[in-house]
Chains A and B, each alone.
Chain A
């Protein structure tokens, strides 16, 4: 086993009782060091079961489990679990203990000394954006859903495990908070670089959070295991296609950046604008809309022919204002949203300082998607 593989489930099967039907059937799965591997699939496919086989909350009927190259199939399960962080949907904070005590649970079990624990608790509270002074002594019942789940994550990270298991952690949270938590989590992972196995039933969440995604069928059979881009570009079979849903194309837009496309150049004008010359330039070009820049080359307004012709108003007040600020690092989904909002079918792209670079058009998007599709 290469050093790269941190967790390995080898030929793992789980059967309940006498039934022949296995919940997990002869699964072999590698989790690479430092990656976020998302297990996703329809309800009942066994993804939660698979996750809980890793920390042996469910014991395999047969097969081997390796952690960091070591066979941990028969080691003392409690000791194993103290090395692995575990986050569940309902969080399960201990209601009779303070937040600090909750977070300190595993370090205490491992025998850390008091000062080290206190420091670690404060460190983690800072990390999840909750002021230690305020929250250390509070009780779980005083927290909101989002706060509780953050504490749940902090609790899982307390003993600094290499591995984190997360079972639909954001499932019980409202969409706005969930989005925020997901972003925070991704940011955290950039710093901490833990190895994470994440279970969700939401394909969008999987695409957003995962370095690799395993799409699971019943009995936890792997339908496809690959990066999100690869899966979206090339679904392995009808099951995966159906699971991705009809929004696959739109979903893939979240994975591509504006920098991947060619920017289109429309006519641009800077004050002072000579109306007749401008009208002529626009009519000669292939475009129907032009852009007015300010002195710093920042895009101000969309100007079409009608706007240019409206002599009753000064140029600076004609046409429509450009409000959205897009940069090459933004996703094509953001670009598409901006295009739809602008009502001219264009999105203006600037650099970090706001200087105009070019435009995204529907045509360039479509072209890119067709190229992606053609690569199938």
Chain B
């Protein structure tokens, strides 16, 4: 109980900082997931007829996920320096796989007889892709985007280690100042805010889901 009070005390004295860190973190999530979604969907669509290309893209994307976050964040430093750039690149590479894999699965999973009927009625290939396949695959794609978003929120905390900002800053500063006063609060603050942010993003995505998915396929 005492701790909660002091946590609140710590936070309320630093709304500016909290706001700043939060905005940086959100910026990471939005930009990374946005770009990764576009990239992954384009790759999935482009490789939908070529099994080998598709499997290769998936295999490459999954290799990135095996690379530990600290390594992936720092490996680009010699190239792009510290700060936002290496963090963004690393997070982007991580986010690709879940979205790519789900888009591939989603496109694959569309009922073949629906596609046959569409083709038989005279829709062109691109019309079928845009009006039938992608809308029907969208729920699965969105599920992948959710995973990518959650992943990004969690890993973005590491950005602080390469001067990339974000909520990890609190954790780092808390760690550095242990066992001085307010250090524990800082660490918890960073952690809890990440969770809250994740929850908020999840809610937002649920909203998107309800708005964009046709009632016919819920």
Q: Do chains A and B touch in the complex (CB under 8 A)?
A: yes
**Residues in B neighbouring A91, C-beta threshold 8 A:** 113, 117
How would residues 46 to 78 of chain B score, 1 for a CB under 8 Å from any chain A CB and 0 otherwise? 000000000000000000000000000000000
Instruction: Determine if A92 and B116 form an interchain contact, defined as CB atoms under 8 angstroms apart.
Output: yes
> By the criterion of a CB under 8 Å from any partner CB, how many residues of chain A are at the interface?
32
**Residues in A neighbouring B127, C-beta threshold 8 A:** 78, 109
Rounded to whole angstroms, the CA-CA distance of A79 and B214 in the bound complex is 28
**Residues in B neighbouring A93, C-beta threshold 8 A:** 114, 117
Contacts of B172-218 to chain A: CB distance below 8 A? 213-217
CB contact between B216 and one of A82, A88, A139 (< 8 Å): that residue: A139
Task: Determine, out of A28-36, A95-103, A234-242, A368-376, the stretch whose residues face the partner at the interface.
Answer: A95-103
CB contact between B113 and one of A90, A98, A105, A139 (< 8 Å): that residue: A90
Interface size bracket, B side: 20 to 34
CB contact between A105 and one of B121, B124, B215, B217 (< 8 Å): that residue: B121
Instruction: Determine if B113 and A95 form an interchain contact, defined as CB atoms under 8 angstroms apart.
Output: no
How would residues 271 to 286 of chain A score, 1 for a CB under 8 Å from any chain B CB and 0 otherwise? 0000000000000000
Interface: B119 (CB within 8 A):
yes
**Residues in A neighbouring B217, C-beta threshold 8 A:** 95-96, 141
Interface: B111 (CB within 8 A):
yes
Interface: B120 (CB within 8 A):
yes
Interface: A257 (CB within 8 A):
no
Interface: B41 (CB within 8 A):
no
**Residues in A neighbouring B119, C-beta threshold 8 A:** 57, 81
Nearest chain A CB to B121's CB is how many angstroms away? 6
Q: Take A93-B114, A94-B114 as given contacts and tell me if A88 and B120 are in contact as well, using a CB distance cutoff of 8 Å.
A: yes
Q: Take A88-B113, A92-B113, A92-B114 as given contacts and tell me if A98 and B120 are in contact as well, using a CB distance cutoff of 8 Å.
A: no
**Residues in A neighbouring B122, C-beta threshold 8 A:** 78-84, 106, 109
- Name the residue of chain B whose CB is nearest to the CB of A86: B120
Instruction: Determine if A57 and B214 form an interchain contact, defined as CB atoms under 8 angstroms apart.
Output: no
Instruction: Determine if A78 and B214 form an interchain contact, defined as CB atoms under 8 angstroms apart.
Output: no
CB contact between A92 and one of B117, B124, B213, B216 (< 8 Å): that residue: B117
Rounded to whole angstroms, the CA-CA distance of A90 and B132 in the bound complex is 16
CB contact between A96 and one of B115, B124, B214 (< 8 Å): that residue: B214
Interface: A217 (CB within 8 A):
no
Interface: A210 (CB within 8 A):
no
Rounded to whole angstroms, the CA-CA distance of A97 and B121 in the bound complex is 15
Nearest chain A CB to B118's CB is how many angstroms away? 7
Instruction: Determine if B117 and A97 form an interchain contact, defined as CB atoms under 8 angstroms apart.
Output: no
Contacts of B139-183 to chain A: CB distance below 8 A? none
Q: Take A139-B216, A141-B216 as given contacts and tell me if A95 and B114 are in contact as well, using a CB distance cutoff of 8 Å.
A: yes
Instruction: Determine if A95 and B216 form an interchain contact, defined as CB atoms under 8 angstroms apart.
Output: yes
Interface: B136 (CB within 8 A):
yes
Residues of B within 8 A of A (CB): 111, 113-124, 127, 132, 135-136, 213-217
Residues of A within 8 A of B (CB): 52, 55, 57, 78-84, 86, 88-98, 105-106, 109, 139-141, 152, 155-156, 165
Given A78-B127, A86-B120, 10 additional A-B pairs, CB 8 A: A83-B122, A86-B117, A90-B111, A94-B117, A95-B114, A98-B216, A106-B122, A109-B122, A139-B214, A139-B215
The 8 closest A-B pairs by CB, nearest first: A92-B117, A81-B122, A139-B216, A82-B122, A86-B120, A90-B113, A96-B214, A92-B113
